[in-house]
C-alpha cells in the first residue's frame, strides 16, 4: 500500500505539535491517527523497527504491537528526529559525542587507530582514523566511512572490517562520528534540506574532516572515496553530489539518493517506497558508484539503490552497457551483480543485490552491529571498485 498524502500530512502535524504544544498533545494526535488508520500503519513503516533502527524487520505477525506502544515508539523517534534540537544542532549546542574509548574495537590490525575531531562553522564532530602500518610518507588513498543510525565509528569499523581490508590494500580510512547533540540516535541528517548542500551543515563538516586528514598526511587527491550504510549511505550520496571535486567515487550500502526527503514525514515515505527520487538533486557530473542492497530490506526499500545508482551516473542505467554475474558465497547468500560500462568500456557502476539479506552490511563481522556475515564482502568489493576508479582528469 502506498504511503498516502493524508498519512504524511498527519505525520507533519504531529511533528509540529511536538514542537509547539508538547509531548502530551502530540501523543494524543498520534493515537487519534492510529485509531483511524490501522490499515495504513500495518502496511506502512514498521515503527517497532522504525526510522532509526537499521536491523532487518522481524516478522510482523509474530511481533504484533498494540497501538499505544506503537504511538509511544513513534513519539520517541519524533523527539529524536525533530523539534528545537534540529535548529540548534549546528554548532550551538554542547557536543555530546559517543565515548570513543568505550566503542567496540575492530579486530586487531597492524596499523594505528586514532581519535580526533574537526570543527567548522556548522559544528564539531569526532572521528577515528586508521593509518596502515606500511605508511611511510608516500601518497595513499583515503576512504571516508559513514556509519548508520545507532552506530558509532568504532562499532562501524568493527562490523565492516574495513581496517583489515585497508591494511592489506595500503590505504587510510576515516570514520566521522555523528554527535548525539545533533541527533539522539546518531543518525546523519540526510533528510534535512539544510544538510543536503555544499559548504553547509553536516556535509561541510564531513568534507572538512576529509580535508583535515589530507592536510595532516600525504593522501593521493585522485583517490579519495566516500561510502556509508543506511543513513550513512544516504549522506554519502549527498557528499558525492555536493563535492565531486573531492570524492572520486562513492559506495552506497542500503542507502537512498540525494534529495529524496526534506523532513521526517517524507523520509518515511522515501524509505518505505523508493522509486521516487531519480533525477532529484542530480549530480553535477557522473560519479562512479557501487551499490549494495539486500532484496529483503524492510527498512530502506531496495528501489532506493537503483535510484541512487541512476543519480550518480547522471544518465539512465539503460543507456549503459550492462553485464550480469550471478554467484554465491560459499555456505552463504546468493547475489546478482550488475556492471555498467561507459562508451569507452570502463566499468563506472556496480549494483549488487544480495538475495535474502535485510538491512545490514554484507559480509560484515559479528564484532560490530547490523552486519550480515553470510553475504559477499562489501568492504573488499568497494575497495576493489574504488581502486579501479581514480578521479578522471583531462588527458587521462
241-250 tens-digit pLDDT: 999 999 999 9
Same domain, 192 and 49: no
- pLDDT tens-digit map of 262-285: 988 899 899 998 756 544 555 667
pLDDT of residue 60: 36
pLDDT of residue 228: 98
Interior angle at CA 150, CA 147 and CA 154, nearest 5: 50
How far does Cα 383 stand from its chain's mean position?
Answer: 17
Same domain, 320 and 260: yes
Same domain, 311 and 362: yes
Tell me which of 99-108, 316-325, 351-360 is least confident: 99-108
- pLDDT tens-digit map of 82-109: 433 332 222 222 223 333 444 555 556 7
Instruction: Count up the domains in the chain and report the number.
Output: 2
pLDDT of residue 99: 39
Same domain, 124 and 64: no
In the sheet that holds 249-253, the strands lie side by side as 112-120, 123-131, 172-176, 140-146, 219-229, 249-253, 289-294, 347-354, 334-341, 321-328
pTM of the model: 0.76
Angstrom distances, CA of residue 305 to CA of 75, 253, 258: 28, 8, 11
Same domain, 21 and 140: no
Q: Tell me, what CATH number does 247's domain have?
A: 3.40.50.1820
Interior angle at CA 352, CA 342 and CA 365, nearest 5: 135
Same domain, 11 and 117: no
pLDDT of residue 74: 47
Range of the domain at 33: 5-81
Where a domain ends, among 15, 48, 81? 81
**Residue-averaged pLDDT of the chain:** 79
Same domain, 229 and 361: yes
Same domain, 112 and 252: yes
Between residues 238 and 52, which one has the greater pLDDT? 238
Same domain, 236 and 147: yes
Average pLDDT over residues 257-264: 91
What number of CA atoms fall less than 13 Å from residue 198's CA on the CB side?
A: 11
Same domain, 71 and 121: no
What distance in Å separates the CA atoms of residue 63 and residue 49, rounded to the nearest whole number? 11
Where a domain ends, among 81, 114, 139? 81
Amino acid at each position: 500500500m502506498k504511503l498516502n498524502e493524508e498519512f504524511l500530512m498527519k505525520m507533519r502535524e504531529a511533528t509540529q505539535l511536538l514542537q509547539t504544544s508538547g509531548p502530551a498533545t502530540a501523543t494524543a494526535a498520534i493515537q487519534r491517527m492510529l485509531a483511524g488508520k490501522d490499515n495504513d500503519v500495518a502496511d506502512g513503516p514498521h515503527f517497532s523497527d522504525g526510522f532509526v533502527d537499521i536491523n532487518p524487520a522481524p516478522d510482523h505477525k509474530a511481533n504484533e504491537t498494540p497501538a499505544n506502544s506503537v504511538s509511544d515508539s513513534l513519539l520517541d523517534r519524533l523527539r529524536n528526529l525533530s523539534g528545537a534540537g534540529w535548529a540548534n544542532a549546528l554548532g550551538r549546542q554542547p557536543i555530546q559525542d559517543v565515548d570513543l574509548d568505550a566503542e567496540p574495537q575492530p579486530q586487531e590490525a597492524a596499523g594505528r587507530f586514532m581519535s580526533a575531531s574537526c570543527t567548522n562553522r556548522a559544528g564539531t564532530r569526532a572521528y577515528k582514523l586508521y593509518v596502515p602500518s606500511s605508511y611511510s610518507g608516500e601518497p595513499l588513498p583515503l576512504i571516508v566511512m559513514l556509519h548508520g543510525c545507532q552506530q558509532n565509528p568504532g562499532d562501524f569499523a568493527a562490523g565492516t572490517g574495513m581496517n583489515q581490508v585497508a591494511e592489506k590494500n595500503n590505504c587510510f580510512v576515516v570514520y566521522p562520528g555523528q554527535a548525539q547533540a545533533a541527533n539522539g540516535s546518531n543518525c546523519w541528517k540526510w533528510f534535512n534540506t539544510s544538510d543536503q548542500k555544499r559548504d553547509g551543515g553536516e556535509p561541510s563538516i564531513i568534507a572538512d574532516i576529509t580535508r583535515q586528514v589530507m592536510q595532516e598526511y600525504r593522501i593521493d587527491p585522485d583517490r579519495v572515496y566516500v561510502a556509508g550504510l543506511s543513513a550513512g549511505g544516504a549522506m554519502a550520496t549527498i557528499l558525492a553530489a555536493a563535492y565531486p571535486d573531492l570524492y572520486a567515487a562513492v559506495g552506497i550500502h542500503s542507502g537512498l539518493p540525494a534529495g529524496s526527503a526534506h523532513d521526517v514525514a517524507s523520509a518515511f515515505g522515501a524509505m518505505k517506497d523508493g522509486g521516487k527520487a531519480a533525477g532529484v538533486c542530480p549530480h553535477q557530473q557522473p560519479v562512479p558508484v557501487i551499490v549494495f542492497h539486500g532484496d529483503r530490506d524492510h527498512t530502506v526499500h531496495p528501489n532506493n539503490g537503483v535510484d541512487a545508482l541512476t543519480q550518480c551516473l547522471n544518465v539512465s542505467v539503460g543507456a549503459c552497457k550492462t553485464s550480469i554475474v550471478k554467484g554465491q558465497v560459499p555456505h552463504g547468500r546468493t547475489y546478482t551483480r550488475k556492471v555498467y560500462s561507459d562508451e569507452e568500456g570502463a566499468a563506472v557502476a556496480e549494483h549488487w543485490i544480495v538475495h535474502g539479506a535485510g538491512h545490514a552490511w554484507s559480509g560484515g563481522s559479528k564484532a560490530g552491529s547490523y552486519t550480515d556475515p553470510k553475504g559477499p564482502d562489501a568492504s573488499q568489493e568497494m575497495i576493489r571498485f574504488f581502486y579501479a576508479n581514480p578521479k578522471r582528469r583531462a588527458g587521462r
